[in-house]
Structure 1
Amino acid sequence: MSPRQITVLGECVADAFTEPAATASELALRVLPGGGPANTAVALARLGTPARFLARLSGDVFGRLFRAHLEASGVDLSYAVAAAEPSTLAVAELDAQGQAAFSFHAQSTADWQWTAEELARTDLSEAACVHTGSLALVREPGAAAIEGFLVEAGRRATVSIDPNVRPLLVHPDVYRSRLARWCALADILRLSEDDLELLLPGVPLEEACDIWHAAGARLVVITRGAQGALASLDGERVEVPAVRAAVVDTVGAGDSFTAGLLHHLAAQGLLGGRLTRLRLDDVAEACRFAVRVAALTCSVAGPNPPWQSQLEQLAAVDRA
């Protein structure tokens, strides 16, 4: 069977959630370790996939929090860089539906300072897949180094990209200008319906999939929240319904979906190249697993993906 190890590259972000304070002149914050790529690495490891995370981890209080969280979840940090720069901070406000609006404090922070030399030290010989995206893929100076790394990674591993558009920090035009290039690098493109609206406003889901297939991505998956997910493999489509959940918040749900998708494909030996053995039935099965992982993430506060044992308990309840 193909190797199952998945390497994730990207940022760690300290997600600070507002909470009621003692007086109107105070603001209480609860800080949780987050960041899209970090969430995906944690979810993969908790599901049982050997997950390596390429991160630039600060030595500040947030960086120490990230390291402890990642290691406690079983993520391999052997190629993480000890960074001199500070960590990235995001302050989140939740609406009545549990959707988060973030304000970022990210100027010159550790996550965006990747160099080609740092990334060249990484051994990918055991990696079935390299996953990246989000802000690290658009914030300079490190973004160019990451794209170069993906060129090399794609010679032996499946490449997965999640754009995870953050319009308050990086204008969508920056993503639009690079997306065709990313599709040429990527075998898998996973994005949300909100991302789609920012990248291709008013374009129907199916047409967007065809645009991205034409640019090079074989598998395109668009997550739609309570509407489930649409997956397109070389133009063949399948829709997968969402799993009903008591939603606390939706933070990290998309990252958990990505982890569930990649975990299932890796477990079936379908990663590790250009997806030549992948069939639409395989995609549908992986997406059905992924929506369950996302639903469990929505049922708890913050980016806190489930462990494999929790998925097994849920499956047992469903069978009862």
Structure 2
Amino acid sequence: MRAQDLTSEPLPTQDPVVTVIGESLVDIIVDPRTAGPAEAHPGGSPMNVAVGSARLGLATSLVTHYAHDPNGLLIGRHLHSNGVSVIRGGSAPTSTATATLGPDGAAAYTFDISWDLNGASLAALAAVQTSAHVHTGSIASVLPPGDQATLTLLDAAKEAATTSYDPNCRPAISPDVAAARSQAELFVASSDIVKASDEDLTWLYPYRTPEESLAAWLELGPSLVALTRGAAGPVILTHQGRVEMAAESIAVADTVGAGDSFMAALIAGLAQLQALGAAGRPKLRTLTSADVHALAGYANRAAAITCSRPGANPPHAAELGHLSPTALVKGA
């Protein structure tokens, strides 16, 4: 029987395929382009990844924090409706992030957030040790006191699970770039898969290009590193080579949650390639060019679907379809 403590929601009756560790919060979307009122949506990068993973057919648990307050109830309903099992710690009020949209739909954030897993350590440890894959990142990897618990859980998962990390840097939360850089490199070194945006890497390493930083991260230990570049499309590096792909042409509603949908689709695509978990790690380390092209296209399409509609609203499996590892990009 799994260890569980009083602050945790009931765990699923079967071990999850994916466990995500990180913040849940309410995104308050302010769009100056319209005359409408601000809208409240459940959010937080790790929570978005968990919902995206579940929508793509993976049994998913989320180790997180939110309170029994109106914002927390909104989050709880959202997770339940998407089939995400919750392990919940901490005691602070539910966190919020206000996203103000620019003319191009890109979001600038301000935060009222805390991150603490106190009271959920036993259930969280049981979840990561019985998962095929564990993902974390964003505020959960930099904000005390929960950041060290997050890294400990990621390390505890590695014997049985593959692991992934997305820094999703928030300078408003962690303004000390040297400290954020050091912390990011700890998580990169503990991860099999890493995804970052060009904005993340430009902030962390202003003295080199984002792709140079991505390549340096690959040398820290991951098998696959991915760079998202907005309208320029993604780049994926492995020890076997490099794949670049143009972004899909769409009408952008906003970019909220697009990177998280890309991350969830990377995980789901690798699951289809049987490249998750300890048994899948050799496959992950030796992905073919066709595999990586298919993976990039799958994640790229997930991000595009999310950008085509308001808020962090990742695609379902029926919308995205299946990965096609034998379909190489034309001209590749």
User: Which bracket does the TM-score occupy, shorter chain normalised?
Assistant: 0.7 to 0.9
Letter aligned with residue 275 of structure 1: R
Q: Distance in 2 between matches of 1:262 and 1:168?
A: 28
Partner of 1:186: helix, strand, or coil?
coil
Are 1:11 and 2:23 an aligned pair? Answer: yes
CA distance in 1 between partners of 2:223 and 2:54 (Å): 25
CA contact (8 A) 1:5 1:51 kept: yes
- Shift in CA distance, 117/4, structure 1 to aligned 2, threshold 3 Å: closer
SS for the counterpart of 1:293 is helix
Match for residue 48 of structure 2? 39
Q: Does 1:311 align with 2:317?
A: no
Maintained 8 Å contact 1:133/1:162: yes
Residue 259 of structure 2 is matched in structure 1 by: 254
Q: Does 1:233 align with 2:232?
A: no
Q: 1:4 to 1:112 in 2, by over 3 A?
A: closer
Q: What does the per-residue CA deviation read over 1:239-274, in whole Å, with 9 as the maximum and x for residues that have no partner? A: 122111110000000000000111011122111137
Distance in 1 separating the partners of 2:317 and 2:223: 28
Instruction: Give the residue type in structure 1 aligned to 2:46.
Output: P
Q: How far apart are the structure 2 equivalents of 1:51 and 1:113?
A: 18
- Residues 1:148 and 2:157 aligned together: no
Q: Which amino acid is the alignment partner of residue 166 of structure 2?
A: D
User: Per-residue deviation at 1:204?
Assistant: 2.5
Q: Which residue of 1 aligns with 2:88?
A: 81
Identity %: 37
RMSD: 2.5
Q: 2:276 aligns with which of 256, 271, 279?
A: 271
Letter in 2 for 1:302: G
Is 2:170 the counterpart of 1:166? yes
Secondary structure at the residue paired with 1:306?
Answer: coil
Separation in 2, partners of 1:125, 1:90: 31
Aligned to 1:218: 223
SS of the residue corresponding to residue 191 of structure 1 reads strand
Once the two structures are overlaid, the 10-residue window that deviates more, 304-313 or 169-178, is 304-313
Residue equivalent to 2:74: 65
- State the SS of the aligned residue for 2:283: coil
Which secondary structure does the structure 2 equivalent of 1:8 belong to?
A: strand
Query: Residues 187-239 of structure 1: CA distance to partner in whole angstroms, max 9, x if unpaired?
Result: 11100011010111141344223311222222110011111111111262111
Deviation, 1:92, is: 1.2
**Aligned mates of 1:213, 1:303 — CA distance in 2:** 28
Residue 155 of structure 1: how far off its partner (Å): 1.3
2:109 matched residue in structure 1 = 102
Residue of structure 2 equivalent to 1:181: 186
The CA distance in 1 between the partners of 2:178 and 2:215, in whole Å, is: 20
Alpha-carbon distance between aligned partners in 2 of 1:233 and 1:202, rounded to the nearest angstrom = 23
Matches of 1:211 and 1:235, distance apart in 2: 15
Scaled by the length of structure 1, the TM-score of the pair is 0.88
Q: Aligned residue for 1:318?
A: none
Work out whether 1:284 is the aligned partner of 2:289.
no
Q: Which residues in structure 2 correspond to 1:105-144 (within 5 Å)? A: 105-106=112-113, 109=114, 111-114=115-118, 117-118=121-122, 121-124=125-128, 126-144=130-148
List gaps (5 residues or longer) in structure 1: 316-320
Tell which has more relative contact order, 1 or 2 (C-alpha 8 A, sep 6+).
1
Q: 1: CA distance between counterparts of 2:267 and 2:250?
A: 22
Contact 1:116 1:146 in 2 (8 A): no
Letter in 2 for 1:164: N
Match of 2:214 in 1: 209
Matched AA of 1:123: A
Preserved contact between residue 56 and residue 114 of structure 1 (Cα < 8 Å): no
Letter in 1 for 2:39: R
SS in structure 1 of the partner of residue 226 of structure 2: strand
Secondary structure, aligned partner of 1:57: coil
Distance 1:235 1:309, change over 3 A: closer
2:19 and 2:63 in contact (8 A); partners too: yes
